Structure 1
Amino acid sequence: MAAGLRLHLCPRLRAFADSSRPLFAPHFGALTLPLRRAGPAMPLAARARRSSTAAAPPAEDDDFATAADLRFEPPLEVVKYPDPILRARNKRINTFDDNLRALADEMFDVMYKTDGIGLSAPQVGVNVQLMVFNPAGVKGEGEEIVLVNPAVYKSAKRLLVFEEGCLSFPGIYANVVRPESVKIEAQDVTGAKIKVKLSGLPARVFQHEFDHLLGILFFDRMTMDVLETVREELKISQKIPKSACIPFPSQNISA
């Protein structure tokens, strides 16, 4: 999956990508940009719940992004490992304006141009809590989602293995274990609150991008055996910790 997830998917994962079913219930409308779906809608994979009004901006704090933190110059480019930007702290967002929408638009442009299906803000050099994704991976198809300040409050106990890649690691693909589904809270590009359960490909894309917002890279999630298969490509043997596989927090795992 790429600087978000790359559209290089094993057969089972590609089956999710080829599905036209919407990620969120249509009566809630688009989370960010207008929805574009290919073909007739299929049964919903998840249901979202949004507040009718955006939350009031929190007081200024070092944890929140300033205007300078959100400044960017198009065209954006994908940040490649080992750029320290990928490990830097990503600040929360409390300003929902035209600049934020423009940043999300630019991120979608980069994602499509690099054949990705997801992208996080730090991957384009902006260290804030923002991600975009579209499992269809094609502009004008599927459903474009923007999530701001996301958090996982519940993860499935069942774990699945799928091959992932990352735009920040061109040409490298390996198996990564992740929960089958997750329940998340976030805000959309207008600041409206969202609660949603994601499963299948959307869950995998979200978790990959969410890791980026935590400064975690996909090789951090690989088992040592899998890591050995890509060690030469990564060329970072001295930088990989002995306990390279990061476990999922037990408090987030539930049936």
Structure 2
Amino acid sequence: MAARIQVSPALFSCTSILPSISRHVRRRNRSIHRLFSNESPPCGSASSSFFVQAQRGFSFQEENFASSADLCVDAPLKIIKYPDPRLRAKNKRVNSFDDNLKKVVDEMFDVITDGIGLSAPQVGMNIQLMVFNPAGERGEGEEVVLVNPVVHKSSKKSLLYNEGCLSFPGIYADVVRPASVKIDARDVSGARFRLNLSGLPARVFQHEFDHLKGILFFDRMGEDVLYGIMSELKVLEKKYEDLTGQPSPENIDNHTQRQQFAGLART
């Protein structure tokens, strides 16, 4: 948001009278142990590739979780702009709380120079991660990291606020949102916690939480407000086409409001 101001080891223990098979089993068990720990191989390593392939071999819904490749970051990160399709893509849950994740978080805070909040999809990483600092300055205020956030409760009272977004440079408009929210999340180390947010922190959280659900701030605007920024959105669509040589994945003229209420996406 822009500023304007456990699996049992017994399941995998097996023996064989053939030494070659036994060695294979031991190697496989070491790889599986790493799958269910917080360890991940370094980005771009050969073991990283095997790690991802091993994950895909299991029957649980691993496609809903970020792989080690999803958490690899090429610094410096860059803000992607509307209508980049990654802003609408599904964002995977994080279950590896390792040095790769910490590096992503650190890089995200470095990117926030003109804002107070940022979601991972805004830097092209489709994972459920957001960071924000209401102070708007690195090293000042409280830097908040939310991994896999879930809305526990939101207030019935709503407030109007003039919002901006780093993925929509220079565009500001009024958005109505709940005045306060209660959320559950994990921190960068994987510890679970609950927060009660109100005022500006609640506003920032809701803006970034929408990003994790593929919802953009103009989806929340009334028709009159949206009409006031349509020309600016069309400029961004044209810039995307000129930059990529591809037709814009979105056309604001054909926009259908995604949410007919000032609530939160809970799915």
TM-score category by the smaller chain?
Answer: 0.7 to 0.9
The structure with the greater share of residues assigned to helix is: 2
CA distance in 1, matches of 2:89, 2:265: 25
- Render the CA deviation track for 1:188-241: whole Å, top value 9, x for unaligned: 000000111100000000000000000000000001111111111111432411
Alignment correspondent of 2:79: 78
1:26-37 alignment to 2 at 5 Å?
none
Alignment correspondent of 1:92: 93
- How far residue 173 of structure 1 moved from its aligned partner, in angstroms, is 0.2
Runs of 4+ in 1 over 3 A off after TM superposition: 243-246, 248-252
Alignment correspondent of 2:216: 217
Which runs of 5 or more structure 2 residues have no equivalent in the other structure?
6-35, 39-59, 235-250
- How far residue 82 of structure 1 moved from its aligned partner, in angstroms, is 0.5
CA distance in 1, matches of 2:231, 2:258: 15
CA distance in 2, matches of 1:245, 1:100: 31
Alignment correspondent of 1:174: 173
Distance 1:251 1:148, change over 3 A: closer
- How far residue 128 of structure 1 moved from its aligned partner, in angstroms, is 0.1
CA distance in 1, matches of 2:85, 2:260: 19
CA distance in 2, matches of 1:7, 1:216: 19
1:247 aligns with 2:258: no
CA distance in 1, matches of 2:137, 2:101: 22
Which amino acid in 1 is paired with 2:261?
P
Which amino acid in 1 is paired with 2:207?
H
- Contact between 2:183 and 2:195, CA under 8 Å: does it hold in 1? yes
CA distance in 1, matches of 2:117, 2:260: 21
CA distance in 2, matches of 1:212, 1:83: 13
- Render the CA deviation track for 1:8-67: whole Å, top value 9, x for unaligned: 14xxxxxxxxxxxxxxxxxxxxxxxxxxxxxxxxxxxxxxxxxxxxx987x661100001
Which amino acid in 1 is paired with 2:133?
N
1:8 aligns with 2:4: yes
Alignment correspondent of 1:36: none
Which amino acid in 2 is paired with 1:159?
S
Alignment correspondent of 1:13: none
- Render the CA deviation track for 1:57-98: whole Å, top value 9, x for unaligned: 7x6611000011112200000010000000000000000001
TM-score (ref. length: structure 2): 0.71
Secondary structure at the residue paired with 1:204? Answer: helix
- Contact between 2:146 and 2:186, CA under 8 Å: does it hold in 1? yes
- How far residue 145 of structure 1 moved from its aligned partner, in angstroms, is 0.5
- How far residue 247 of structure 1 moved from its aligned partner, in angstroms, is 2.1
Which amino acid in 1 is paired with 2:255?
I
RMSD of aligned residue pairs (Cα, Å): 2.1
- Contact between 2:177 and 2:263, CA under 8 Å: does it hold in 1? no
Alignment correspondent of 1:108: 109
Secondary structure at the residue paired with 2:97? Answer: coil
Which amino acid in 2 is paired with 1:126?
M
Identity %: 60
TM-score (ref. length: structure 1): 0.74
Secondary structure at the residue paired with 1:247? Answer: coil
In our comparison, the structure showing a higher alpha carbon Rg is: 2
- Contact between 1:65 and 1:93, CA under 8 Å: does it hold in 2? yes
Instruction: Give aligned pairs, total.
Output: 200
1:56-205 alignment to 2 at 5 Å?
61-112=62-113, 115-205=114-204
